[in-house]
Amino acid sequence: MSNAATVSAAPAGKTLQIGLWAAQVLVFAAFVLFGCMKFFMQVDQLAAMWVWPGEVPAWFLRLMGIIDFAGGAGVLLPALTRTQPRLTVLAALGCVLLQIAAMIFHLSRGEAAAIPLNIILLALSAFILWGRGKRAPITPRG
C-alpha cells in the first residue's frame, strides 16, 4: 500500500473536525442572516444598504432569501442532527455555485466591493464541500 493511500484513508484529525464545524457555523450564520434579510426586510431598506435589491424584481430578492436560508440551514443542520448528512454536502455545493453566480452578478454590475465577502463564503463553502464530502463525512444516525 502506498503512503498516499495510507494518508487518504486515515481518519480526519481533531483540528480538521473543529475547522469544519466552525466553517459550517459561520456559513450557517451568514446565509441564514442574509436570507432572512432578503426575505423579510423592506426592499427600500435593503436598497439603502446594498443598492442592487432596489434594481431587481421583488420576487427575485425574496427567492434569493429563500435560497440563502436553505443553503445555510442545509450546511449545518443535517450534519448536526446526523439525519441525512449527505444533504450537508449538497448544500455546500449549492452555496459554492451560489457564490460563483453572485460574483458574476456583482462584477457585471460594477460592484467589485461586494466580491470579498463572496470569496470568503465561497472558500468556506468549498472547504465544507471537500471536508464533509471526502475527508471527514458525517455518519448518518442509526
pLDDT tens digits for range 80-108: 999 999 999 999 999 999 999 999 999 99
**pLDDT confidence of residue 99:** 98
pLDDT tens digits for range 102-120: 999 999 999 999 999 999 9
Hey, where are the domains in the chain?
13-135
Q: How far is CA 28 from CA 3, 68, 102, 132, in A?
A: 36, 9, 17, 15
Whole-angstrom distance, CA of residue 127 vs CA of residue 123: 6
Is the per-residue pLDDT at 1 higher than 50? no
**pLDDT confidence of residue 78:** 98
Q: What is the pTM of this model?
A: 0.90
**pLDDT confidence of residue 142:** 82
**pLDDT confidence of residue 57:** 97
117: buried, middle or exposed (CB in 10 Å: 19+, 13-18, 0-12)? middle
Return the number of other C-beta atoms located less than 10 Å from residue 55's C-beta: 11
pLDDT tens digits for range 50-60: 989 999 999 99
